[in-house]
Chain A
Amino acid sequence: MTIHRPLPAGQVGRSVPRLEARRKVTGRAEYVHNLVVPGMLHTKVVRSTVPHGRILSIDTAAAEALEGVYRVVTADDIRTVVPDPWYGPAFHDQPVLAIDKVRHVGEPVVAVLAEDPYVAAEAAQLVVVEYEPMEPVFDEIEAMTSTAVVHEVLKPAGTFPDLKHLVGRRDTNVALDYRLRRGDVDAAFAAADRVFEHEFKTQQVMHTPLEPMVSLAEPGDDALTIHTASQSPSFVRIEIARLLGWPENRVRVKVPYLGGGFGAKLYIKLEALVACLALLTRRPVKWSLTMEEQFYTITKHASTFRIASAVKDGHVTGRRCEVFWNGGAYADIGPRVTQKSGFTAPGPYDIDNVAIDSYALYTNRPPAGALRGFGIPQLVWAYESHTDLIARGLGVDPVAFRRRNILREGRPQATGTVLRDAAIEGVLDDIARRMDWDKPFDRGSGTTQRGRGIAVGFKASIAPTTSVAIVNVAADGSANLYLSTVDMGQGSDTAMAQIVAETLALRTEDVKVVHPDTDVTPYDMATLGSRSTFHAGNAVKLAAEHARDQIEALAKSLGLPPGSNYGPADLFKKKYGMQAGNIIGVGTYIPDYKSPAPETGLSDNVTPFWMVGGTGVEIEVDTETGHVRILRMVNACDVGRPLNPKIVETQISGAALMQLGFTMFENMDLDGGQVTNASLADYKIPGMHDVPDEIESLITEAEQHSGPYGAKGVGESATFGVSPAIANAIHDAVGIRLTALPLSPEAVFRALREAEGNTGTDAK
């Protein structure tokens, strides 16, 4: 549904086909997996077999003796090139290879190098590591108080001022505790007509990019080039330079296309090890993970959310939120998830009295980081299930109850930041209208019961972050865009080219986007958290405007009156006497931001923009087996003005389907910290047959006034409402409430039997 008309130049608002589509379907697009460099070695790592243990000995003799093995490397060797080999975006807590102890099954302990990857793999099996097992902790609630401590001392990175108070904290698994206090929560609960209290859980899942992580490092003269499937080339450069103690400009990071990222390929992953190995061997080194290994590299936080609401006269007057994030063995970006997501935990409702405690916890599971939504889907799952339960408890229609309490434009959110350009009500209205919420609904019969549910959520953008862009106009008027935003399939190349084209009055197809190469393309914080359209998009627009201003100035200097129909090519020719020269436009964007106050968690400017997304579903439950079939799914998002409606729609449906997998069946089965289904044969993601019978992607009428041409991010918004909408619909259909994901048929079936007062499965 396209409701916006294109802008004057006809580029923004046009569903330009993906610029790279042809390259991809003809197999010509570049990926690091296909990159082969002369003299290249492959590495395979030996991974920990225990969740928590001291390393007693490492025997590499048999591996070294295998024909074709070039070298076997342990943490001791790594220290000869990087004396302090601990990395991470929020905490410097992750060793390049395990030092003294291991903290999760699958942690890299030893690296084997060979020209033949199969030889490296075989040799890796010959390395013998002896461990003294230590008491592990796996559950996020237990980690709050357990005697098992994953990290003896906390080591926050210096980059984040709000983590400073954690420096040197000992013997705790709490990596970050974020708190927010607003109004008088106790008084609100004391004065309430009704109090509702629930606990919700989510499971650990994985991003499953179809291109597994891969990095290749090439040593040079006092320099290093890293080709990597990364969402954050600028961060990789800075972090590798920090580890090596080098200036940034000696580390070059290049990123071609990605076969999916979803947050898995953020910050620093394989790059630290390949960099060290390349420097140790003076040869190019490539590390390609298998699909299986990704399950031990980065995942999505399992979580527990305790939520309580005070209700008076049909309004939510107070809310207490306690969120526990299972961060696994290494913090990665977990503490940011805890804080940035934490402060929207009460949901998009106008609640005067709020208390939030959000805890990032270390456990002995594989690490968790950012995954499409950055914690928000876990929160919306809880607060929208809870909100539905309140409405049902009060006997009020769930949509009417939401409308009554919803956070409206101009009202302060829990942090105190006033809501601007956030179409929360618009999204809710679009879904309700599209689903004919006010009309009678066929509830099914016999063993097929039907129900419907709705949920909306919102998210603050990560802040403050910087993007820089360069637009280079050539002498014939064509333009290159230099940008470190990574196109991992979300269509950013096309959208960014549209912004340049709109500003310079070119055809989008005539703008060439130069892919991230830190020797060439300027700084960008990272492609994450739906920030690029807004941040990089603003930088691109500024760069294009800068170029346009210079073109206009050139025209003026040549004595041409404003509005004369000389094109850039004519201007260059007139100026230089031939086709020569360039005009370089530069744009840097960083939004205003105010960090939350440490004691209260409050800030009147906590985000540059809000993302809003919601989902409505109609479902059918087979009451004999618990199977849930989704007959219809309506997703609506506030994306500001859509730069490219077609890409926006596919981002909406793609995000919703990804979250559908996390809702219905995806689950990392863990046994003693070991993932027992770490393969695509056993870890199931949605396929074509799992797509709802009908699925719609709605772009809610909106404008982000501070965004480039009114746009904002969209990659995650459609994940928000999916899980609670389905659970709410199941409740509507058969009267049972599930509080833990995934909503498996067996879980539905058991709840049905329990509701009938029969806990066995023998009932007919």
Chain B
Amino acid sequence: MRGFELVHPGSLAEAIALLDTDDDRVRPFSGGTALMLMMKTGVFRPSRLVHLGRIGAAHAAIAAGPNGGLRIGAMATLTAVEHSADVIRVAPVIAGAMKRLANVRVRNVACVGGNLAHGDPHMDLPPVLAALGGRVAIAGPQGTREVAVEHLFSGYYETVLGRGELITEVELPSQRGWTSAYLKCTTRSADDWPALGVAVSLRRAGGVIAEARLVVSAATEKLTRLAGAEAALVGAAADGTAFARAADAAVAEVELVEDARGSADYKAQLLRVHLKRALAQAVNDGAVS
């Protein structure tokens, strides 16, 4: 790694202008925890880093909406999210996931936007936010647009973000009546990247599951919504039989990737077990009011 340019734009527009280039060695830099690792190993050799620090404060707010939703600025640090009273009230599953996400030092500087934009399928926040129905607000040279978190990823370490585009905010719909859980499964050290992440959100009405959003990550090339498993749940009572049916459907519908953390076969077993456990946990923990 040799010299590169580090710029500190003072406004979002300036940052976007600085990023609006064909040079793929130009990238935004928020907490830098992911970028620095790539730079150290030589996977990424920047020509220019656009540091978002000076515009951070304007895009770091975390606030509950009037109808049970939540907005999280892309530049909010993971620590800020972890300790936010609004997050703990509206979507406690996010705060819970933080406890085993990296470590205090990383969480103190890493930002929500970086966690999402990195495109690494092993990250914890994307599946949780996707299961909560989250959408990201994106600003770029052509203006602003919104994308559901579940559609943000186009492949392994790939997102749908275009040239010059920045994530500015995550917005969650109303969580009232929903109940959620996230399980992360490691197969080597406790702080290893997960072999599997499973995030589930359920809304029950009239004694049956009315809506379900189930997401698998880490064991798949990119985070994947489990439509078949969701269909197996909707209209059924929230019990072990339904959960087992959903688990079978999940294993049947996703392509699992073999790696040093486990074979595809084994990950299928982990998915089956952890999806059932996550569903049970979500039901036991009760719905957000």
Contact = CB atoms under 8 A, between A and B. Distances in A.
Given A119-B2, A624-B273, A661 B189 contact: yes
Interface residues of A, number: 34
A685 B192 CA distance: 9
Contacts of B200: none
Interface string B37-78: 100011000000000000000000000000000000000000
Interface string A679-698: 10110111101100000000
A669 B190 contact: no
B260 A625 contact: no
Given A625-B273, A746-B263, A761-B268, A684 B192 contact: yes
B244 interface: yes
B260 A677 contact: yes
B19 interface: no
Nearest to A750: B266
Contact of A690 (B1, B185, B190, B260): B190
Contacts of B266: 746, 749-750, 761
A764 interface: yes
Given A119-B2, A676-B260, A760 B265 contact: yes
Interface in B230-289: 244, 260, 262-263, 265-266, 268-270, 272-273
A400 B2 CA distance: 64
Interface string B173-189: 00000000000010111
Given A118-B2, A682-B260, A687 B190 contact: yes
Residue from the set B2, B41, B189 with the largest chain A CB neighbour count within 10 Å? B189
B191 interface: yes
A665 interface: yes
A749 B269 CA distance: 9
A73 interface: no
A546 B163 CA distance: 77
A591 interface: no
Contacts of A682: 260
A746 B264 CA distance: 11
A687 B191 contact: yes
B201 to A, nearest CB: 23
A761 B265 contact: yes
A684 B193 CA distance: 9
Contact of A681 (B37, B265, B272): B37
Interface string A656-684: 00000100111101000000110101101
A121 interface: yes
Interface in A524-549: none
Contact of B187 (A118, A122, A665, A689): A665
A118 B40 CA distance: 11
Contacts of A745: 187, 262
B189 A665 contact: yes
Interface in A684-741: 684-687, 689-690
A744 interface: yes
A647 to B, nearest CB: 26
B2 A122 contact: yes
A667 B262 CA distance: 13
Given A119-B2, A122-B2, A761 B189 contact: no
Contacts of B268: 761-762
Interface in A77-136: 118-119, 121-122
A744 B187 contact: yes
B1 A665 contact: no
A681 B192 CA distance: 8
B41 A689 contact: no
- Majority secondary structure, A binding face: loop
Interface in B1-51: 1-2, 37, 41-42
Interface in A137-160: none
Nearest to B189: A684
Nearest to B3: A118
Contacts of B244: 764
B262 A746 contact: yes
Residue from the set B1, B263, B270 with the largest chain A CB neighbour count within 10 Å? B270
A682 B192 CA distance: 8
Given A624-B273, A677-B260, A746 B187 contact: yes
Interface in A405-423: none
B194 to A, nearest CB: 12
B2 A689 contact: no
B109 to A, nearest CB: 18
B273 A690 contact: no
Contacts of A667: 260
Contacts of B189: 661, 665, 684-687, 689-690
B188 A684 contact: yes
B66 to A, nearest CB: 39
Residue from the set A624, A685, A750 with the largest chain B CB neighbour count within 10 Å? A624
B41 A679 contact: yes
Nearest to A676: B260
Contacts of A750: 266
A762 B272 CA distance: 9
Residue from the set B187, B188, B190, B193 with the largest chain A CB neighbour count within 10 Å? B188
B48 to A, nearest CB: 17
B270 A665 contact: no
B223 to A, nearest CB: 20
Contacts of B185: 625
Contacts of A686: 189
Contacts of A624: 269, 273
Contacts of A292: 41
15 contacts: A118-B2, A624-B273, A625-B269, A625-B273, A665-B189, A681-B193, A684-B191, A686-B189, A687-B189, A690-B190, A744-B188, A745-B187, A746-B263, A746-B266, A761-B266
Closest 8 CB pairs of A and B: A689-B190, A665-B188, A684-B189, A684-B188, A761-B265, A746-B266, A687-B191, A624-B273
Given A625-B270, A625-B273, A689-B190, 14 more contacts: A118-B1, A118-B2, A121-B42, A625-B185, A664-B188, A665-B189, A667-B260, A669-B260, A677-B260, A684-B188, A746-B263, A761-B265, A761-B269, A764-B272
